[in-house]
Structure formats: structure tokens, C-alpha cells
């Protein structure tokens, strides 16, 4: 073998070594964060049952669990920290539904008869219901609210304490149940209902004392149906309707309504009543598809508004930042929609959750998700 051939071989070997070294460095930098990528490593087994025949993700729900993110799939309840490190617990669910408040998580399967409640990363208790579950929510103290189907009634609402013991029952016979929640004082539930009267739909909102089993306050709204209800930290509550965002005092009286007008609501995050995020379609012939994002404060006033190109896919917020996802792009802003940073995933984002530390977010796509800094 001549000298030139030997030199060429040595050059090729050196080049291969450099490439391998670069790969090792990149791998160790990202191995913890590139989680839930199907078919790449052992962690793909965590949600392998959540893929259809084309490898698309169809089952799962996510939410912020204190300073981490909880991820519920058909096979596991997984907690992910901001560095991408995971702790997983087996669970069998066909249609994962997750509700989180503080350190508590309620995991259930729609149309099933069981709710598994976690405190942090440990299973706290399990509730078995007599009827199929419509929805379930847990408050910051670990008290569980459930709404289930019931023969002869439209719905049965129950409250359970931290030991999983039933402490309250309320049957709904005449109206259709839409949503409900339990307050942080553990002494009241709020319900949003719908009924038909005089050839029109009527929305109903009721606040019920669970210690006396009496209605504290009930209001009806012509042609306004509220499909989402959320108790705030001070036991006021906020409702999203077909044409408004409405805010109620803790005694059940309505404080204000923000009307949508002719705008079409695309996405909303009302988890923080100091800065509720509403995203409306703003399509036009000249601009094409775009989204108007508005921040509504607890007084019902618009604090900020901004137009973004494209159709919004997901919203998340914590107490200091807001994340808005459009396709692969994510804009992180303050509560006045002033941009802090813009980042991008290598896949289209379906759901996002901002960590308590706003430098990190969990982005979920069709084929998995990961932590993005």
C-alpha cells in the first residue's frame, strides 16, 4: 500500500472519529430531554399503546404539576421535570383524561367507572363510581368532584375527601349537565347546565353548599350556554360560554361578562384569573389566516391584544408568562403579550405546558413530545 493511500485512510478514520465524537456529545446533551419519541429508545414503550397503525398519537393529556409536568397516556401516568427526567407509573386507560390542581392529579377514562388520584408522584386513592364518568376534577386540597351518568336522572354529582370517601351527592334530573368544579374551601360545588324552554336553549349556573345540600345561588341565561367552568384561587369562578367569558363572585352572583361579538373563539386558557387568555379567529381575504389574542383581567377589561399570523394550536400560562403555539413555533410573552422569546420544535405542536420556571415548556405533537428550553 503506497503512502498516499495510507494518508487517505488515516484522514477517513480521523473524520469518522470526529463525527462519532460529535454524536456522543449531542446524545449526552439531549438524551434526557428527547423523551416520548416513538421507536427510538426504551422510553418509547411508555406510550407505545397510544399510537395508531400509522404511528400517530391519539390518546393523552398533559398539565403542570407544581414545578413539573404530568403526562397521562393509555398505559402510564408520567411526571417529567424540566430536565426531561421522568418517573412513570402504570395505568390502564383507553381515553386518557387528566385534571390537575396544585399537587393533586385526577386520572380517569371517559365512560369508565374509576378515578385514580395522585398526590405529586404517588398514588393517593382510587374512587370507583356506580355509573360511567362524564368528568372529574380535583381541588388543591385533594378533594375530588365527579359527574356520572345515572339511570332515571341526567347526572349524579359526587364529592370525595382525601381518603376517597363519598361526602356529598347531588342528582340532576331536569337539566343537562355540562361542567362542574369544587372550590378550595371544600364546601361548595358550582355547576353549569343547559335546558330547553320556549323553543330556545337556556344556560344555568348553580352554586351549591355541600355541607347543607342547599342551592346558594342559581342564575339562568337566555341563549347563553356555558360549557367550561373553573374555580379560581379565591373561590370566585370563571365560565366560558358560546358567546362570552363570565366571572362570578364566591357567593354565586355574576360580576361581569366579556362578550365575544361576532368573533369565533379558537382557544382559551382561564386558569389564571388575573390574565385570562382568549384567542379568536381573525381570517381575512387580505391577511389570510390569523389569530387575535386578548388578555382579560379579573375586572373583565382587556389588558392586551395582539394579532398573530396563522391559526393558534395551543395556549399555556403560569403566573408570569404565556406560551402560544402556532404549528412548530412557540411565542413566550409576559401578561401584556410583550414577547420574551420565540422558539421552535421540529414537529407540529398539539399541546403545550409551561413549567413553573418559564424558561422551559413541554411540547406535545402527534408522535410524542419533549422539553424545550
The answer to whether the CB of 224 falls within 8 A of the CB of 243 is yes
Across 311-332, b (16+ Cβ under 10 Å) vs e yields: bbbbbbbbeebbbbbbeebbbb
Residue whose C-alpha cell is 407540529: 348
Query: In the structure grid, which three cell numbers stand for residue 343, read together?
Result: 422558539
Q: Given CA atoms 25, 26, 30, 35 in this order, what sign does their dihedral have?
A: negative
Tell me the pLDDT of the chain (373 aa) as tens digits: 443 433 343 344 344 333 333 333 333 333 333 344 332 332 332 233 343 333 333 356 899 999 999 988 888 898 999 998 889 899 888 888 999 999 999 999 988 999 999 999 999 999 999 999 999 999 999 999 999 999 888 899 999 999 999 999 999 988 999 999 999 999 999 999 999 877 888 999 999 999 999 999 999 998 899 999 999 999 999 999 999 999 999 999 999 999 999 999 999 999 998 899 999 999 766 667 999 999 999 999 999 999 999 999 999 999 899 999 999 999 999 999 999 999 998 889 999 999 999 899 999 887 778 888 8
| pLDDT value for 306 | 97
Query: In the structure grid, which three cell numbers stand for residue 195, read together?
Result: 335546558
C-alpha span between 67 and 359 (Å, rounded): 12
List Cβ neighbours of 154 (8 Å cut-off, separation of 6 or more).
172, 173, 174, 175, 176, 177
Q: Given CA atoms 24, 25, 26, 27 in this order, what sign does their dihedral have?
A: positive
Task: Count CB neighbours of 125 within 10 A.
Answer: 17
| pLDDT value for 75 | 86
| pLDDT value for 286 | 61
Q: Sheet harboring 322-326: ordered strands across?
A: 314-317, 322-326, 329-333, 339-344
Across 167-198, b (16+ Cβ under 10 Å) vs e yields: ebebebeebebbbbbbbbebbbbbbbbbeeee
C-alpha span between 348 and 344 (Å, rounded): 9
Q: What are phi and psi of 299, to 5 degrees?
A: -95, 0
DSSP type of residue 57: B
List Cβ neighbours of 2 (8 Å cut-off, separation of 6 or more).
none
Q: Virtual CA dihedral for 251, 255, 261, 267, nearest 10 degrees?
A: -60
DSSP type of residue 264: P
| pLDDT value for 44 | 30
Amino acid at each position: 500500500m503506497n503512502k498516499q493511500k495510507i494518508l487517505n485512510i488515516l484522514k477517513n478514520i480521523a473524520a469518522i472519529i470526529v463525527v462519532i465524537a460529535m454524536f456522543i456529545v449531542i446524545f449526552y446533551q439531549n438524551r434526557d430531554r428527547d423523551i416520548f419519541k416513538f421507536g427510538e429508545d426504551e422510553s418509547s414503550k411508555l406510550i407505545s399503546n397510544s399510537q395508531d397503525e400509522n404511528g400517530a398519537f391519539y390518546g393523552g393529556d398533559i398539565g403542570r404539576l407544581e414545578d413539573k409536568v404530568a403526562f397521562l397516556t393509555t398505559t402510564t401516568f408520567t411526571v417529567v421535570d424540566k430536565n426531561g427526567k421522568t418517573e412513570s407509573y402504570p395505568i390502564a386507560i383507553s381515553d386518557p383524561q387528566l385534571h390537575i390542581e396544585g399537587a393533586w392529579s385526577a386520572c380517569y377514562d371517559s365512560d369508565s367507572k374509576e378515578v385514580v388520584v395522585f398526590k405529586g408522584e404517588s398514588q393517593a386513592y382510587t374512587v370507583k363510581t356506580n355509573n360511567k364518568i362524564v368528568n372529574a376534577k380535583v381541588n388543591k386540597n385533594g378533594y375530588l368532584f365527579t359527574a356520572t351518568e345515572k339511570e332515571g336522572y341526567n347526572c349524579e354529582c359526587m364529592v370525595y375527601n382525601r381518603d376517597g370517601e363519598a361526602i356529598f351527592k347531588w342528582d340532576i334530573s331536569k337539566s343537562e349537565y355540562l361542567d362542574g368544579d369544587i372550590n378550595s374551601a371544600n364546601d361548595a360545588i358550582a355547576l353549569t347546565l343547559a335546558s330547553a324552554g320556549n323553543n330556545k336553549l337556556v344556560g344555568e349556573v348553580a352554586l351549591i353548599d355541600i355541607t347543607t345540600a342547599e342551592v346558594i345561588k342559581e342564575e339562568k341565561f337566555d341563549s347563553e350556554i356555558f360549557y367550561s367552568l373553573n374555580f379560581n384561587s379565591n373561590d370566585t369562578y370563571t365560565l366560558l360560554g358560546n358567546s362570552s367569558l363570565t366571572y362570578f363572585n364566591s357567593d354565586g352572583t355574576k360580576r361581569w361578562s366579556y362578550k365575544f361579538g361576532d368573533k369565533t373563539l379558537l382557544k382559551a386558557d382561564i386558569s389564571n384569573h388575573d390574565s385570562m387568555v382568549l384567542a379568536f379567529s381573525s381570517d381575512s381575504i387580505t391577511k389570510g389566516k390569523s389569530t387575535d389574542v386578548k388578555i382579560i383581567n379579573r375586572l373583565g377589561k382587556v389588558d392586551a391584544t395582539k394579532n398573530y399570523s396563522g391559526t393558534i394550536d395551543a395556549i399555556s400560562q403560569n403566573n408570569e408568562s404565556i406560551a402560544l403555539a402556532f404549528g412548530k413555533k412557540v411565542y413566550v410573552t409576559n401578561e401584556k403579550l410583550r414577547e420574551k422569546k420565540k422558539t421552535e420544535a421540529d414537529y407540529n405542536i398539539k399541546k403545550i405546558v409551561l413549567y413553573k420556571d418559564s424558561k422551559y415548556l413541554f411540547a406535545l405533537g402527534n408522535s410524542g413530545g419533549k422539553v424545550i428550553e
